[in-house]
Amino acid sequence: MEIRGYLFDVYNFESDIHVWIKDEVGNMHLLRDTFHPVIYADASPQRLRNLVTRLTEMQALAESPSFVTKKHFYRNEEVRVLRLAISRPSVLNRIKRKLYGMIDRIDIYHSDVEIPNAYMHEKHIYPFAPVIARLKKPPLWNQVDAIVALESETVLDYEIPKLRVMEITLENSHRLNISPRNRLQLHYGDHKLCVDGQNLESDVKQINSMILSHDPDVILTSYGDQKIMPTLFTWTSTAKIPLALDRDQVPGLQRNIIKKGLSVNTYGSWIFRAASYPLYGRLHIDSGNSFVFSNSDFAGVVELSRLSRTPIQRVARTSTGAALTNMEVHNAMDSQYLVPWQKSKVESWRTAYAMIEGDKGGLIFQPNIRQGCVYENIAQLDYSQMYPSIMVRNNISPECVNCDCCANDPDVPRAPESHWHICRKRVGIVAQTLSHVLARRKHYKGILKNGDNAEVDAKQGALKWLLVTSFGYLGYRNAKFGRLESHEAVTSFGREILLRAKELAEDMGFEFLHAITDSIFIRNADGSVIDRDQLKVLCERIHEETQIEMAIEGVYHWAIFLPSKVDPQAPVANRYAGLFDNGKLKIRGLITRRKDMPAFVKAFQTELLDIMRQQNTLYGLRMEHTRLSELFQTYRAQLYNRSVPWRELLMRRTASRGAGEYAVSTGTAMALQQMQKRGIEVQAGEKVRYLVVNQESKNPENRYLGEEVVLSLHAKTQIAYDVNYYYKLLLESFEEIWQFFAPRGFFHASRRSGIEPSLFDSVRISI
């Protein structure tokens, strides 16, 4: 018997592999297979004998060990290693834990490749691959005899099968318990169900009825991993009624209900990841716990899942860097390399001078604001994916930079300034992986030039983040395929390439204004309109000399380079706004782009910029002053009249420590303390939102209200907000962009005419 369809999901329980296939008419089939992952060991004969003895005692070997020949990743030479097929994959975690005490005594390879990934690699299949599965003869029902993908994962124009999607959300905050004021809502098309947790038996039965009647393939939640799924699995345990969330009713399966996530401090920033709650037989994607889905939608998740041969639910919960690493692992395994279980190549010794010379980062020319911050007729030229292109063109990969095999080759290519040599005897795994990603994104962007396509845009967006990550991972301390010398080699090439672009632009008579890593801003010396044909000639020359494609990002009618807030005479590289000649605005670093600012203030600046977009000249912009002043007064009046919904005034911050660990009574600190009093625990890295109610109050507890506190009071108490505080933010958002066009003294007068603190109608609330 054969089943033809799409590979929907793969997961394992020890060596038992569960394979779901969605056939061509939409029916789901659960198949089973057996898989024993293979690891490799390299050590002295005695230590290898001890390892085999221990694994035999644990009944962890599926077959007799044997010696095979593989390639060492860094040395690029064949080595003889012991092949071990593991019967119980859970043993691999114990092996990895033991490795910390066995450094320099035994090398283990392929031990941290996740089982579903390893299975798909061996079978040459991937998520949503069109497949044919041949089943074994009875009585081995639903046992896979063979499974074959009908096309490669590298195919560009593929079809994503139609899936049934159900959404599960909370009425208000995920930090509040489910109640009549914070109901759980299930949506499927026009069908909707709301439950409030007051009668668990009835609620679970209603949820099961809706799931079974619509049989969704995908459960899409918001904060599902952090709140919804732990709550539902607690309900089903209490009511003793099985939930229908899983299609695969695995006998004896019991989830550990984990509500606490993981807080990680990386490079000075706190990141929070909720516990993972994947489903069996359905796909659960939590938009509140998925960077890829939030930025690239479902099609972007599928794109990365295909290329990395990683299950959909796993890709949705990890970073793009994890997907990139899995792609590199598969390419390394295809090349017969031994994949180390962790980063094993440390930074080379060098002098302090050599470090200063080589480790300079990207090149930036600060905007030229000596003659003013506002310009007309500026062109922006961008290198297309400069760093990934450098990595591919120059074969930069951790095993290729300062490789042993080319150390004595006088003709080997070298990186500028640092003088690291780069292997010319093999193509690096990183370069090999990125070359295909670059080609895919270029293909998708070519399609988008002919019109909008949401699915294609999501795919190229996912690849964009993958490429952005690729450079950072070269220098990331925990990256499996990272090495600091590789990272520095890329930036050294980047600096040289950007300098060459600057020189070529100036050779053609353009005035150079600004550059940041992979972009340059130029104009005609007399400020006249730029000829696009000239720009195309310049791009072609830059491409010819640097071998990296340069494209016209756009020609600005006008552009504003904002100065530092601390020193108005100091330029800032990444704060600017401009109007392209196609009518589109480009904005970087303004309040409207900041996630921490209130929606009300961002809405005002967005509307202000929309009006400015209607003018192509600086003269025309200045003529809009009256119109923009009236707009400002309209928003000011909404604040003064207290007609702004409180949700639009919430400030958003990231918690960096516990509730009682803040030295200063900031809005974040007070919101955390208020939630702690209500039994709500917030971990470092989580987002906190609060309302400013009276910042001038002598009692810090009366200055701010956390969102959850406001929700609990909203039905019975009128919530006031600090009009004066939000007026200052509103004025700041106006001044930020309009200070260069307003009459002299306008904003100084506006600050003086702001709402006086004495007019603030404070409402005291006991919290």
N- to C-terminal Cα distance for the chain?
67
Q: Work out the average pLDDT over 535-555.
A: 96
Pairing relation of β-strands 269-273 and 262-266?
A: antiparallel
Rounded to whole angstroms, the Cα distance separating 16 from 251 reads 13
The amino acid that residue 189 corresponds to is G
Give the pLDDT confidence score for residue 503 in this predicted structure: 96
Contact predicate 444/438, CB 8 Å: no
Residue 195 has pLDDT above 80, yes or no: yes
579-590 exposure pattern, b = at least 16 Cβ within 10 A, e = fewer? bbeeeeeebeeb
**Residue 109 gets which letter from DSSP?**
E
The confidence band for 418, taking pLDDT boundaries of 50, 70 and 90, is confident
Peptide bond between residue 139 and the one before it cis (omega within 30 degrees of 0): yes
Q: What is the pLDDT of residue 765?
A: 39
CA gyration radius for the chain?
30
Range in 68-72, 431-435, 571-575, 612-616 with the lowest mean pLDDT: 571-575
Buried b (16+ CB within 10 A) or exposed e, 415-438: bbbbebbbbeebbbbbbbbbbebb
Q: Which of 644, 576, 642, 632 is nearest to 747 (CA)?
A: 632
Extract the tokens encoding 260.
């606490």
Is it the case that residue 756 has pLDDT exceeding 70? no
Confidence of residue 717 (pLDDT cuts 50, 70, 90): low
Element (H, E) at 682: none
What is the spatial distance between Cα 389 and Cα 518, in angstroms, rounded to a whole number? 11
Tell me which range, 298-312, 466-480, 694-708, is most confidently predicted by mean pLDDT.
Answer: 298-312
What confidence category does residue 716 fall into, taking pLDDT thresholds of 50, 70 and 90? low
Burial of 337 per CB tally in 10 Å (0-12, 13-18, 19+)? buried
pLDDT given at position 579: 98
Chain-centroid distance of CA 655 in Å reads 19
The residue with greater pLDDT, 640 or 758, is 640
Bridge partners of 422, per DSSP, are 401
DSSP category for residue 584: -
Contact 281, 9 (CB under 8 A): yes
pLDDT category, 766, cuts 50, 70, 90? very low
Q: Which domains does the chain have, with CATH numbers?
A: 38-112 (3.30.70), 165-250+269-318 (3.30.420.10), 358-588 (3.90.1600.10), 592-767 (1.10.132.60)
Q: Provide the β-strand partners of residue 34.
A: 16
Q: Which amino acid is at 341?
A: W
List CB contacts of 408: < 8 A, sequence separation 6 or more: none
What is d(CA 220, CA 186) in angstroms, rounded to the nearest whole number?
10
Q: How many C-beta neighbours within 10 Å does residue 332 have?
A: 22
What does DSSP assign to residue 701? G
Element containing residue 252 per DSSP (H, E): none
Predicted confidence at residue 760, as pLDDT, reads: 39
- The percentage of the chain sitting over the pLDDT mark of 90, rounded to a whole number, equals 78
Residue from 402, 385, 415 nearest 490 by CA: 415
Task: Give the pLDDT score at 354.
Answer: 73
Judged by DSSP in three states, 219 sits in strand
Q: Which amino acid is at 168?
A: I
- Residue 613: CB atoms within 10 A of its CB come to 14
359-394: b or e for each residue (b if 16 or more CB lie within 10 Å)? beebbebebbbeeebebbbbbbbbbbbbbbbbbbeb
Of the candidate ranges 55-69, 150-164, 332-346, the one whose mean pLDDT is the lowest: 332-346
In 508-571, where does DSSP find H-type helix?
A: 532-546
Average pLDDT over every residue of 709-735: 86
Instruction: Quote the DSSP letter at residue 141.
Output: T
Which amino acid belongs to residue 655? A
DSSP 226: I
User: Which pLDDT score is estimated for 102?
Assistant: 56
CA–CA gap between residue 86 and residue 324 (Å, rounded): 26
Read off the pLDDT of each residue in 511-531 and give the average, rounded to a whole number.
Answer: 94
State the Cα–Cα distance between residues 185 and 606, nearest whole angstrom: 32
Q: How far apart are CA 537 and CA 275, in angstroms?
A: 53
Q: For residue 764, what pLDDT band results from cuts at 50, 70 and 90?
A: very low
Q: What is the DSSP string of 659-677?
A: GGG-SS--HHHHHHHHHHH
> Binning pLDDT at 50, 70 and 90, where does residue 762 land?
very low
What are the φ and ψ backbone dihedral angles of 378, each rounded to 5 degrees?
-115, 145
Angle at 454 between CA 449 and CA 456, to 5 degrees: 60
Question: pLDDT tens digit string along 96-105?
Answer: 666 555 545 7
- Percent of the chain clearing pLDDT 70 (strictly above): 95
Q: Do residues 301 and 293 touch, judged by C-beta distance below 8 A?
A: yes
CA distance 667 to 702: 10
pLDDT at 458 > cutoff 60: yes
Q: The sheet that has 38-43: what strands, in order across it?
A: 106-109, 38-43, 78-85, 66-72, 337-338
CB 536, CB 546: distance < 8 Å: no
* Mean predicted confidence (pLDDT) in 735-762: 76
User: Residue 42: beta bridge partners?
Assistant: 107
Contacts of 707 (CB under 8 A, 6+ apart): 173, 650, 671, 688, 689, 690, 691
Asked if residue 709 has pLDDT above 70, the reply is: yes
In whole angstroms, give the CA distance from residue 678 to residue 709.
9
Q: Give the separation between CA 216 and CA 167, rounded to whole angstroms.
A: 10
- Find tokens 């600004």 and name the residue: 514
360-374, 431-445, 625-639: the lowest-pLDDT one = 360-374
Contact 494, 515 (CB under 8 A): no
d(CA 358, CA 418): 4
Is residue 767's pLDDT more than 80? no
For 68-100, what is the HEC assignment?
EEEEECCCCCEEEEEEEEECCCCHHHHHHHHHC
d(CA 712, CA 669): 19
Per DSSP, the three-state class of 622 is helix
Confidence of residue 368 (pLDDT cuts 50, 70, 90): confident
Q: What is the mean pLDDT of the chain?
A: 92
pLDDT per position as a tens digit, 377-410: 999 999 999 999 999 999 999 999 999 889 889 9
pTM for the structure as a whole: 0.93
Q: Round to whole Å and give the CA distance between 529 and 573.
A: 24
pLDDT in tens, 234-282: 999 999 999 999 999 888 778 889 888 999 887 778 889 999 999 999 9
Encoded tokens for 605: 């600046």
Alpha helices (H) along 613-718: 618-622, 625-640, 667-677, 707-713
| Residue 763: pLDDT over 60 | no
Q: Residue 24 carries which DSSP code?
A: T
Q: Which two tokens stand for residue 328?
A: 């590199």
- The label of the residue with tokens 């299975």 reads 119
H helices of 125-284, in order, are 200-214, 229-239
Amino acid identity, residue 169?
T
- With CA atoms as reference, report the closest residue to 507 among 499, 496, 495: 499
Averaged pLDDT for residues 735-764: 74
Map 750-765 to HEC letters. HHHCCCCHHHCCCCCC
What is the DSSP secondary structure assignment for residue 213, as one 8-state letter?
A: H
